[in-house]
A and B are shown apart, each in its own frame.
Chain A
Amino acid sequence: MSFKRKKKVLQQSPRILEIDDDFSLIKRFIEGDESTFRTLVYRHKEKVRNIIYMTMNHSNSVDDIAQEVFITVYKNLKYFRFESQFTTWLYRITINKCRDHLRKMKIRNIFTPVKDNEETHGYSQINENMDIPGIVQKAISKLPEKLRVPLLLKDIEGFSYQEIAETVQCEIGTVKSRIFRARESLRNILKPYERDLMA
């Protein structure tokens, strides 16, 4: 076994244990021990909140959406079929909730008059005085949701292509293509700042 493989196995082992642990907690919840839900929330809340933050592109309604996610999970946990990982189910609910909110915002924006000075949400201009992380962050925020979410789930949350595909409900090939296209778009957006970024 090569060094790379060994490293991979070592990385995966605690994850498997964690999944099993999720399952046992869910089983206990179904059997009537509702206190286990608190453990599940404590364990996954930050990941859920970050996915919402990355998907929505702002921190305004992260907690509200996260709350909705966990309420949905609480109501439907007794129907969990143990066919996939709990996290896959949880993140899929999260992404769907985010999409619902984005849809509602779009509808709301139709009926809201656009102010001249106000930056359109998610399309803010890159300021030349910004630092490098700021420039990159703004550049990522300019990507469309269907490219941005797989890229961030990969680079920030470290999801595998398989996990991303299950979360955003599409094929692995699509995920692969979207991540590549996201990187190409990002490179084009950041082209004017190439020197600063290389430095």
Chain B
Amino acid sequence: MMNINKDIEILSAYIDDELSPEEVRILEEKISVSPQLKKKLAELKQLKGLTTSSIKRIPESPYFETRLFAVLEGNSFKRRIKKWLPVTSIVTLTLSLMLVLKFNPEFLENIVEEQKSNLAGFYKENLKPLLFAADLNNEDIFNFAFYNKLPLDNTKKQYLQLGSDSSGKEFFEIRTAGEENNNDNFQKFVQTLDLNDSQKSKFDSIMSDYAEQLQSQVLVNDKNTVAINHNLWNYRKAIAADILNFAKLSNVKAINDVMPTLFKFDTPDVERMVSSVKSADDNEYIFITPDSLFVDTFKFDKKEFQKDMDKFREDMRKSMEDYKNSQVEMKEATIRLKLDSTIARLKKAPKTEKNINVFIDSNLCRVHLNNIIIPRIEFPDMDSLEAMINEATRQVRSFSFTIPKLNKNISKFKYDVKVFPGDTIRSFKFYGNGSNADSLSRLYMQHFKNYNFNFPFNQDSLAEWFNQNFGSDSTFFGNPMNLENRMKEFEEEMGKFKEEMDKLKKELKKDSVQFKRKKSVEV
């Protein structure tokens, strides 16, 4: 049967002309001898004929191509737009920029100017006088006046060098300091002039005045900007002239010996020049920044700066006072260091408030600090907590009892047990044969029944009773006569309970019989 089905399946491929010549030969042999296969072949051929002839093909669509290519054209247009979009946008942008520049030529300049002012604003921020970077002294001022050098930082690694070229044009440079040493020019000059005390103080005041004046001529900030006023060049000349003028007025002989050719100007001219330089209100600064160099106006508020400086001086004065006071205190708080060779001596050493005793051994270094102020800290009451813990620990300790040997004088038998507070081990020994407390009532049944002696507890309540009475001094066995009565009551109660249980059993039996019967009926 399976072979027939297989052959029928092959027949389907046979009529479709999908068999190899070998398969065709084998199948045709089978068909020639099998009427069933012949019939099936005829059926399949008829069915194939019906299928081929019955299915109508869909009529042609005359507008299909037109519609398709219209869609494709639309798509290709979109694709073309996508392709040219970057180029088109760049061209549009360029054209619009050109138009803007044509009708508003200052557009770009404004942007550049705005950026410039932004940049200048950035570098102008937080400008402070050179005082904050370099603390100028008389030597520095003197060197500036005669050697054109002004230090720009405290370490004096960088300095501003003023100069002039052959055509007389002035310039400046920021240089790194070399090996040259100009530290004592001012001192030499003062020594040459051989000034008296009042002249010296006057000279000092002139120099410090210029030092202050120079602060506003060179400004610095935290962005490595150095702003130099145009007037700095004039200041240099004015300082030099003023110093020489002072020298001339102080000791003209000495200065003529040193520099005979320099004195070609009159004192009034110098004074006039100095006052004009000091009164010049020049706000033009040359800004030297890490990435740019520009000239811009900058208003340095001298009054505000003076206020700040006064405040600063006041703060400094106060801090100096504090420092001096602390120095005084430190002097008073002398630490006495005594060397002792043994601990015994160390112990003997006087323990004053200010003494610090140090003990150094080959493997120990101990420092004794006397009168250290320890802050008050509220700790929990550890003592009471510890007492509670100890009490709880005691309560869980085990107890052992030994029942005493019984004899005929048992009626006189009496146990007095005392528990002392603070006992760590509470063991109570009863000399006898009984094994433990649980067997007390059993012992009573066996040995005490002939005696008029009762325990005041039963087996179950033993532990409870024990806890209640055992914590303080007490008589262990008090009122022993009630036990027999209690046992009788208990026996009666047990009898009643037994009766009730029997009743319950009977009722349950009845119910189970009924239930069984019912169940059998249902089945």
Tell me the A residues contacting B by CB distance below 8 Å. Answer: 37-38, 41-42, 45-46, 49-50, 53-54, 59, 62-63, 66-67, 70-71, 74, 132-137, 140, 151-152, 154-156, 160-161, 176-177, 179-180, 183, 186-187, 190, 197-198
Question: Inside 8 A of B67's CB, which chain A residues have their CB?
Answer: 63, 67
Shortest CB–CB separation between residue A180 and chain B, in angstroms? 4
Measured in the bound complex, the distance between the Cα atoms of B57 and A179 in whole Å is: 20
Provided the pairs A132-B50, A183-B44 are in contact, do residues A45 and B55 lie with their beta carbons within 8 angstroms? no
B60 with A46: CB separation less than 8 A: yes
What's the A-B contact tally at a CB cutoff of 8 Å?
97
A151 with B65: CB separation less than 8 A: no
Question: Inside 8 A of A152's CB, which chain B residues have their CB?
Answer: 51, 55
Tell me the B residues contacting A by CB distance below 8 Å. Answer: 8-9, 12-13, 16, 18, 43-44, 46-48, 50-58, 60-61, 64-65, 67-69, 71-72, 75
Provided the pairs A38-B65, A160-B18 are in contact, do residues A49 and B48 lie with their beta carbons within 8 angstroms? no
A137 with B54: CB separation less than 8 A: yes
B54 with A133: CB separation less than 8 A: yes
Can you list 6 A-B contacts (CB < 8 A)? Answer: A46-B57, A62-B58, A67-B68, A133-B53, A140-B55, A161-B13
The 9 closest A-B pairs by CB, nearest first: A136-B54, A133-B54, A180-B12, A53-B58, A155-B51, A180-B9, A161-B18, A136-B50, A155-B52
A49 with B18: CB separation less than 8 A: no
B51 with A49: CB separation less than 8 A: no
Shortest CB–CB separation between residue A9 and chain B, in angstroms? 14
Given A49-B58, A136-B55, A190-B50: 6 more A-B contacts, CB < 8 Å: A49-B61, A50-B57, A132-B50, A133-B53, A177-B9, A179-B12
Measured in the bound complex, the distance between the Cα atoms of B69 and A70 in whole Å is: 10
| CB-based nearest A residue for B15 | A183
Provided the pairs A49-B58, A132-B54, A133-B56 are in contact, do residues A183 and B12 lie with their beta carbons within 8 angstroms? yes
Measured in the bound complex, the distance between the Cα atoms of B12 and A180 in whole Å is: 6
Shortest CB–CB separation between residue A53 and chain B, in angstroms? 4
B65 with A41: CB separation less than 8 A: yes
- Which of A71, A132, A198 touches B75 (beta carbons < 8 Å)? A71
Measured in the bound complex, the distance between the Cα atoms of B445 and A194 in whole Å is: 110
Provided the pairs A59-B58, A133-B56, A140-B55 are in contact, do residues A197 and B68 lie with their beta carbons within 8 angstroms? no
Shortest CB–CB separation between residue B441 and chain A, in angstroms? 84
